[in-house]
Amino acid sequence: MIEQTKLEKLRKDLDIKYVDFKFVDLPGQWQHFTVPYHELTQKVIEKGIGFDGSSIRGFQGIEESDMMLIPDPNSAFIDIFSEPTTLSIICSVAHPGTLEQYSRDPRGVACRAEKFLKSSGVATDSYWGPELEGFAFSSLSFNQGLNFASYNIDSEAGIWNSGKEEQNLAYRPRHKEGYFPTPPLDKFQNWRNKVVDRLEQAGIIVERQHHEVATAGQFEIDFKYGKLLETADKVLLYKHILKNTAKEDGLVVTFMPKPLFGDNGSGMHTHQSLWNSETPLFYEEKGEPFHLSKTARSYIAGLLAHAPTLMAFCAPTTNSYKRLVPGFEAPVNLCYSARNRSAAIRIPTYDASPAAIRLEFRPPDPSCNPYLAFSAMLMAGIDGIQRGLDPGIPLNKNTYELNDEERAAVPTVPGSLDESLKALEKDHEFLLKGGVFTRDLIGTWIKYCREKAQRVLLRPNPAEFMEYSDV
């Protein structure tokens, strides 16, 4: 990321021609427009630049459409996919005149969440490390109408192509056997390395990359943790780089949670911890269990207590709940444990040093808006700390193999988006603290998600014809 004072020097050194202003809509996708570099004046940096907010999903009505983008110079990066040389700057959204933060701007929510954390006295900083999974397909087509609906996925690495009659070089991961194979079974090693190079050029420090469990090129590329706002920014930049690199190479990347029936879906396991400046707050030498401090335990309890509500932001699509079913490494059981990937919250045990103690909340998926999801998780954790909640004892069993009595004692995540949205309607007071979320934003989010879900649920799908067409 580039500091404001370096912008002019950067322009001269790199011969920058354009500035691209990026901002995030309510569902969580970047929007943008571009101006010649000479339009990036000191006034624009300080007072913003206007745009029409009425055409942005989840934003303003046409009768109050004028809005302002406030650029964050520290977020600036060179966008290698734009020609000639273009500087991209991530922006927050504000009202014209007053420049008051716009309550429905997801980036503004993240800013307010960080401020609330500090004002609460709980901690000065929160750190976030999301693990985004996705698929790189050779082809992804879909269509629907009054009397038809279809989709078709193809991948040179898909096990379904093992029977092709033309020259067939095989080497395709079987269902659920795609984790860590070497080339030639892993056909995407070099492509992921190319992506890593581009991520690092853009200032995202990558920790590892590998093929994930599913067939057909499922991937995971992990980057170094950071504070809430900067990490949410990097999630959007990460997606931008992967999608555009894929397009260059004749591939299509999707972060849809469950594109393949009968194989693993894509999650976004999210590591998180609290700090006071240089002091980690989740560690206690004699803390039980797993060196967890009381602060960490109460944070965990807050996540578990509010998990149904959190899923409205962390798993916000109807497709999310096709991933959240037992049997596909999906963390549906609301309990915590160490080393246990069947629990909703895992305490990693690779490193027991104070700085490494953290929790991993596993239900989120990469279809979420990271600004809203991270902020909601943080608010749930803070609520758990402020109320002194306790998560009880950890569950160190494979939760998919519990007997009926044990299973009945463990709550689960909601089974549908509608259930999650109903939970959000009933349980959202903790999100309103400090004005982080507003009732207007929550109401808009629920309406938007319900309308999109209704469009999906009203349509017959091919599986229904398979089951019911002969009645």
Residues designated as active site: 52, 131, 133, 212, 220, 269, 341, 360, 362
- Cite the beta strand spans of 116-200 per DSSP E: 125-137, 139-144, 149-154
- Six-digit token pair at 433? 């603290």
Q: How many residues does the chain have?
A: 471
SS3 state of residue 111: helix
From the number of C-beta atoms within 10 Å of its C-beta (0-12, 13-18, 19+), residue 93 rates as buried
Q: How far apart are CA 20 and CA 31, in angstroms?
A: 10
Largest CA distance in the chain: 72
Q: How far apart are CA 277 and CA 261, in angstroms?
A: 45
Bond before 289 cis per omega within 30 degrees: yes
The CA-based angle 141-145-149, given to 5 degrees, is: 50
Q: How far apart are CA 135 and CA 325, in angstroms?
A: 19
- Six-digit token pair at 218? 């499922």
The CA-based angle 389-115-430, given to 5 degrees, is: 35
Q: How far apart are CA 393 and CA 299, in angstroms?
A: 14
Determine phi and psi for 457, rounding to 5 degrees.
Answer: -75, -25
What residues contact residue 56 under an 8 Å CB cut-off, 6+ apart?
A: 25, 26, 31
Q: How far apart are CA 168 and CA 170, in angstroms?
A: 6
Q: How far apart are CA 303 and CA 146, in angstroms?
A: 42
**Rg over CA atoms, the chain:** 23
What residues contact residue 18 under an 8 Å CB cut-off, 6+ apart?
A: 34, 35, 36, 37, 82, 84, 85, 86, 87
User: Which of 386-401 are b and which e, b meaning 16 or more Cβ less than 10 Å from the residue's Cβ?
Assistant: eeebebeebbebebee
Reference 90, options 74, 102, 110, 106; nearest CA is 74
Reference 235, options 75, 86, 350, 69; nearest CA is 75
Q: Beta 18-24 vs 86-94: how paired, if at all?
A: parallel
- Six-digit token pair at 281? 């707050």
